[in-house]
Amino acid sequence: MSARPFLLALLLAAAPAAAARPPSRQEAPPAVAPPDAPDARGPLRADVRVLVTTEGRFAAFGEPAACAAGHVVFHARLDGGGDAIAGTSGGAVTVVVETHQEIVARGKRGTIARLGTRPTVDDRFYVAFTTEFDAGGRAVLLARGFDGGNCALVADSTESFRDFGELAAIGGGGEVAFHATIDPPGHPDRVAGGRGSFEPEARRQGDSLDPPTRVTHDGRVKRLENGLFLDRGDALVTVARTTGAASEALDVEDGFGLADGGALAWRGAPRVGRWAVYVRTGGTPRIVATSDDTRVAFGVPAVDVRGRVAFSATRSDGDAELLVAPPGGRAEPQLAAGSGYVAIGDSVALDDGGGHVAFVGRRADGSQRLVLTGDARAPDGLVTLLATGDPVGARRIASLRLGARAFLRSDRLAVQLAFDDGVEAIALLHLTR
């Protein structure tokens, strides 16, 4: 089930337009003074560099994910149908994998029918993603640079898993985390048979395939077991599971945070009608926040190497909060209710180096703002980097989206923009003063 590290052979070309050719190494961007340098003046601001738009073969973009080496990957819908995962390091944009492409991984073959919407990338340009095949199978895969047709296999549905979530997260050591539902006991494809296809085994007459009845967040229903798993290359770790020895929650949600070093944060239901945010930094998972009659839901958590966790909270009174839990502590509001935001985007981004948190907040009038916390030279530490209506070239921003792994480093983050003329873009923000 595990992936072995592979040598990265290809990097992005430093060309100005989208292309489907092997990339080459490009020069490092010029250094920018850290956010709190002694000679810096005024709050941070964002210089916007558009990396790619939907004026070519792409029709729409998902939220991008980045890494410290400067690579950015994202999911895209294609003109004419189908989808793809593409990447850039600031130059040419290259498609890593796309629908109708044949995949070979550990001797198995399959043709992609659909790709997960939340891929991630590490400094070697290994791209982790989930996929469904036209024969019905599913898998978590690791593309080696831009050789997307020949992947490393992390997990697939010819083993004990039935399906996977939208997110596959790769860490700095090559470990890959994923959410999965699990086949019930007696299912014929629980044991891999060394077959040459990702297609699951057919169900045999007389097999006992019904999942056990268990208590979930919504009460007692018949539902498959699910969990969060971490593949370390030499072992598969069960991080959280809804039954058995690793059970800390009645349900485990897709959408989670993975930091370099293996720290994980996720959402689960500790009891009926309640949600919680968990963090695990190597030992026993602990809860940093639990929903109640005031805080009714949580967004996808982000986590850093120290175990600091950031996430949004939805309140019953219609306001939104940004919560941050320090290493070893409980979550407290960094942006409290009453700050003027009625919603915060499902994903927030946590900066490993500078301690900033970035989020997209929506106000009562429908406008959106991309906000950065922790700027000592801004009122209350908050600075608005972008807002709907702001100009980017000849266009104006109509909406913004941010992924949980938006930061390349403290002075760079990747965002998805939609403009007033319907064009979408993946953009890189350079934070300067």
**How do residues 171-213 score in pLDDT, each as one tens digit?**
999 999 999 998 776 555 544 444 567 776 544 444 455 666 7
Does the CA dihedral 48-54-60-61 come out positive or negative?
Answer: negative
**16 vs 68, higher pLDDT:** 68
Q: How many CB atoms lie within 10 A of CB 113?
A: 17
- pLDDT, residue 169, reads 98
In 242-380, DSSP assigns E strands to: 252-258, 264-271, 274-280, 286-290, 295-298, 302-303, 309-315, 320-325, 332-335, 343-344, 349-350, 357-362, 368-372
d(CA 249, CA 276): 9
d(CA 422, CA 209): 47
The first and second tokens of residue 361, run together, are 């907040």
- pLDDT, residue 245, reads 56
pLDDT at 379 over 50: yes
The first and second tokens of residue 328, run together, are 């070893």
d(CA 348, CA 367): 18
- φ, ψ for residue 127, nearest 5 deg: -110, 120
The least confident of 33-37, 90-94, 129-133 is 33-37
Confidence of residue 343 (pLDDT cuts 50, 70, 90): very high
Q: What mean pLDDT is reported for the chain?
A: 85
Q: Please give the model's pTM, rounded to 2 decimal places.
A: 0.85
- φ, ψ for residue 101, nearest 5 deg: -85, 140
d(CA 374, CA 335): 11
CB 294 within 8 A of CB 253: no
CB 188 within 8 A of CB 246: no
d(CA 278, CA 275): 10
Q: What residues does each domain of the chain span?
A: 1-31+64-201, 43-61+351-433
